Chain A
Amino acid sequence: MKKSMRNLAVVAGAASASFALAAGPASAVPSTVWTVSPNPASITAVNSGNVVLSVNGIAMTCTKSNGAGTGASTTGNPATVGQITSIAFGATGAPCTSVLGTVTAVPTTPWTIVAQDYTAATGVTKGYVGNVDAKVTVGACNFRVTGKASATYTNSTGALAVNSVAGELTVVSSSGCGAAVPVGAKPTFKGTYLFKSGASIPTIVGSNP
């Protein structure tokens, strides 16, 4: 597992395969009752492996990213089981980088954690991070990206693996970026965050009573 995580960190291109494996088969009947434990949960998150935002082939890498949020049991499908109330990209001495230069990314929160499918056999919830909204600056280029990003959450590891597909995120404004990051560009966002609620790993369980 350690080896696969390392590869995940290093090889962004391999991420989709790893996530596809993690997602597993969807349950036959969609869950409508979502149990978050603890409930409510105060969540902290740190990245495991690099977080990469890619636009038009330009990769922006964050070796450090962390955040905080909340989780709570709820009903429905899709269901908002949690919120990311703060998230930071980069840290002192470890800013996000790209070939266009140092990257600063400032999110507008909250972002939502939305559950759609739960596989009891694996303890994996499939869904997405919604309400994504961030301003990104690289040198003279700055743009705003909004949308959602597909993700899976694995109860056994507390790993929220975000792996957006093209079209989920959109550049809604852009300045100084020219053809590199035009309005309408479809970035992708990939990264894995490890969740903790205090000393324990929060869990999400979907059911259909």
Chain B
Amino acid sequence: MNGPRPTTRSSRTRVRGATVAAFVALAPLLPAAAVAVGTLKADAALPYVCALPSGPLPVTVRITADLPERVAAGEEIRPAGVTTTVELPAAAVADLTALGAADVRAESRLSIGVAQHEQRAEAVWNGTAQPVAVPAEGPLALATTGDVPSLTTGAAGDLTLTAGGLGIDLVPSTAGGGATTPASLSVACAPAPEAEGRTVVATVPVGAGTDTAEPGTPTPPAPSAPGSPSAPPSPGSPTVPSPSSGPPVPPLTPDPAAPGNPGPAGRPKPPGAGLPADRGLGTADEDAPGTPAARPDAPRCVTENPTPMSLSAYITGYSNVRKQNGANVIPVSCVLIEQGLPEMEFREDGIHLLTRAVGNFSYQGRKQSPPFEATFLTFGFAPTTATLVLEQAGPVVIDSDVLLAFPDNIAETYVRVPLVLRVLDVKVNGTRLDVGPSCRTERPLSSPEPQPAKYPGDHLTLLGKGQLINGTDAVGYLLTSGGPLTGEATIPAFKGCAADRENLDRLLTAAISGPGNYVKQIQGQTCTILNELPTADPQCTEDRQPYVVPKPER
């Protein structure tokens, strides 16, 4: 198994900030009245266009979800059974087979516009899929599932959910289980022009006496001819313009209790909570009931004597241990970064904007991750818990390469860092074994390196991909706004692990060491001292720590 096992995942707040909407309040909550609830089966198959390596291709995206047939004002709407199925045409599959892919694992991020009357918000429905075989020819359906943010509105009236942009991350693997080159593809998709007016996925009446005569109706694609944008999505449900084309209407308030959103209040208020008068009329912040809550607990992450080029960020995620057929969480870790100046380079394919940044992990003054526990079975039967830490053996080097192919901007960022895995403590069957003070991998972790001559030596290499297409929002990994970084690690043999004269090197090496361990880390929005400007989405706490604490994603 190359990828992590699917499980519940948190919504990633907008690769750029989009904490939108783990839970969106469209208006102040009102006392909820009892409303009978049935299940509304939403099922919409929509034409999309995806930017694949071979060019833009039409795909069919089917979105299914179970929603309450009707809710009371203030009552939570919790979509269940959300499945996004992307039917890649044969031409798109050919892009995968050209890479030598035998299997592919997919993750999806579907933007859902939420609208009620004049209020609008946006949620992201994330999904993951089990690896599926890539056919030699013909189409391929990738069905992703996942938990999605709940919604709440305090006002009565129809609440419409409208499908928007779709991001798909494809991680192909070869027949031998190895990574292809490139190791992953990030594909941006948007509703095709012929989908206009047909993108409403469902309409949920809110309140006992709403302006909809019938209870909630799923809104499948209207049987109108392509190119008839005036066709109503369904009788009785308002036409909801695309979130990107409609006027924004405050207040749209993330719920602090929702996953992916800032945590409990009581922490220092972020900058920008009180906006100056010229911040603008009717911004969400101004009119929202309350200011953004303080962030969840996280290790201290402060740059001493920062410069304007200083960035700080949290990063966390999963790392598979292939031998154990499982994944471990690498806890929220602080990285302090000094960004270099961007440089322009003219190449055959266009102008590249190259930026190098150098950073270090920071945990209680040491260049390492916080300690974390990993539990596994040694030799398949002895439950073993190890306390581990990732120690730096050199700086974190972050190279961003942005292709400026206006109006599109395509970004690739490689993060390289030599990390040694140190074992602090081991318990086998509950019995503590003293591994000594020098129990580590004998070398830093390593990865397949696309430029081994330029970047010699053992180091972990993670890749983040981001892009901005045609004046739409930037998506994917971008150094200053964060996002997913993926790669593959080889864990070397352990050395120096001894308990009461008993050498544990072989035990740990046999249990953990080996190649092909998929790594997926999520970096949060960076904080910079320049973030004194008021911002709708806080980037720093008042004491200049990163405001955004990411959550691991499968």
Q: Which residue numbers of A lie inside 8 Å of B, CB to CB?
A: 2-3, 5-6, 9-13, 44, 46-50, 52, 54, 56-59, 61, 63-68, 85-95, 97-102, 104, 106-109, 135, 137-142, 175-180, 190, 194
**Among the listed A61, A65, A95, which residue makes an inter-chain contact with B537, where contact means beta carbons less than 8 Å apart?**
A95
Q: Which residues of A contact B466 (CB under 8 A)?
A: 99
Does B344 lie at the interface of the complex (its beta carbon under 8 Å from any beta carbon of A)?
Answer: yes
**Among the listed A13, A86, A180, which residue makes an inter-chain contact with B280, where contact means beta carbons less than 8 Å apart?**
A86
Q: Which of B1-23 contact A (CB under 8 A)?
A: 13-14, 16-21
Given contacts A97-B16, A102-B525, A10 and B471 within 8 Å (CB-CB):
yes
- Bound together, the chains give a CA A127 to CA B131 distance in angstroms of 56
Q: Which residues of A contact B535 (CB under 8 A)?
A: 90, 95, 102, 104
Task: Decide: B18 and A68 in contact? CB cutoff 8 A.
Answer: no
Residue of B nearest to A69 (CB): B281
Does B277 lie at the interface of the complex (its beta carbon under 8 Å from any beta carbon of A)?
Answer: yes
**Among the listed A10, A46, A52, A92, which residue makes an inter-chain contact with B536, where contact means beta carbons less than 8 Å apart?**
A92
Does B531 lie at the interface of the complex (its beta carbon under 8 Å from any beta carbon of A)?
Answer: yes
Task: Decide: A86 and B277 in contact? CB cutoff 8 A.
Answer: yes
Task: Decide: A64 and B16 in contact? CB cutoff 8 A.
Answer: no
- Shortest beta-carbon distance from B66 to chain A in Å: 25
- Bound together, the chains give a CA A177 to CA B480 distance in angstroms of 13
A-B pair number, CB within 8 angstroms: 252
Chain B window 203-242, contacts with chain A (Cβ cutoff 8 Å), 1 for yes, 0 for no: 0000000000000000000000000011000000000011
- Bound together, the chains give a CA A31 to CA B341 distance in angstroms of 49
Task: Decide: A93 and B474 in contact? CB cutoff 8 A.
Answer: no
Does B411 lie at the interface of the complex (its beta carbon under 8 Å from any beta carbon of A)?
Answer: yes
- Stretch of B138-146, B166-174, B284-292, B386-394 with 4 or more beta carbons under 8 angstroms from chain A: B284-292
**Among the listed B196, B197, B241, B406, which residue makes an inter-chain contact with A57, where contact means beta carbons less than 8 Å apart?**
B406
Q: Which residues of B contact A142 (CB under 8 A)?
A: 308, 530
Task: Decide: A93 and B277 in contact? CB cutoff 8 A.
Answer: no
**Among the listed A2, A93, A99, A178, which residue makes an inter-chain contact with B402, where contact means beta carbons less than 8 Å apart?**
A99
* Interface of chain B, main secondary structure: loop
Q: Which residues of B contact A90 (CB under 8 A)?
A: 535-537
Task: Decide: B281 and A102 in contact? CB cutoff 8 A.
Answer: no
Task: Decide: A140 and B528 in contact? CB cutoff 8 A.
Answer: yes
Q: Which of B122, B230, B284 has the most CB of A within 10 A?
A: B284
Residue of A nearest to B350 (CB): A57
**Among the listed A56, A86, A93, A104, which residue makes an inter-chain contact with B254, where contact means beta carbons less than 8 Å apart?**
A93
Given contacts A88-B283, A99-B409, A107 and B278 within 8 Å (CB-CB):
yes
Residue of A nearest to B275 (CB): A88
- Bound together, the chains give a CA A138 to CA B121 distance in angstroms of 24
Q: Which residues of B contact A3 (CB under 8 A)?
A: 193, 196, 229
Residue of A nearest to B341 (CB): A178
- Bound together, the chains give a CA A175 to CA B533 distance in angstroms of 15
Sorting the interface of chain B by its residue count into under 10, 10 to 19, 20 to 34 or 35 or more gives 35 or more
- Shortest beta-carbon distance from A201 to chain B in Å: 13
- Bound together, the chains give a CA A182 to CA B378 distance in angstroms of 58
Q: Which of B20, B402, B470 has the most CB of A within 10 A?
A: B470
* List of 3 A-B pairs having minimum Cβ-Cβ separation, nearest first: A88-B280, A101-B480, A178-B341
Does B304 lie at the interface of the complex (its beta carbon under 8 Å from any beta carbon of A)?
Answer: no
Does B365 lie at the interface of the complex (its beta carbon under 8 Å from any beta carbon of A)?
Answer: no
Q: Which residues of A contact B475 (CB under 8 A)?
A: 97
Q: Which residues of A contact B245 (CB under 8 A)?
A: 5-6, 9, 48-49
**Among the listed A57, A97, A176, which residue makes an inter-chain contact with B339, where contact means beta carbons less than 8 Å apart?**
A176
Given contacts A88-B281, A93-B19, A100 and B480 within 8 Å (CB-CB):
yes
- Bound together, the chains give a CA A64 to CA B17 distance in angstroms of 13
Task: Decide: B190 and A91 in contact? CB cutoff 8 A.
Answer: no
Does B176 lie at the interface of the complex (its beta carbon under 8 Å from any beta carbon of A)?
Answer: no
Q: Which residues of A contact B162 (CB under 8 A)?
A: none
- Shortest beta-carbon distance from B193 to chain A in Å: 7
Q: Which residues of A contact B530 (CB under 8 A)?
A: 137, 140, 142, 176
User: Would you list 25 pairs from A and B whose C-beta atoms are within 8 A, ordered by A residue?
Assistant: A2-B229, A2-B230, A3-B229, A9-B245, A11-B407, A46-B247, A48-B245, A49-B245, A50-B244, A57-B405, A58-B409, A92-B285, A93-B122, A94-B248, A95-B16, A97-B468, A97-B475, A98-B474, A99-B402, A102-B480, A102-B481, A102-B537, A104-B531, A104-B533, A139-B339
Given contacts A44-B281, A68-B281, A97 and B404 within 8 Å (CB-CB):
no
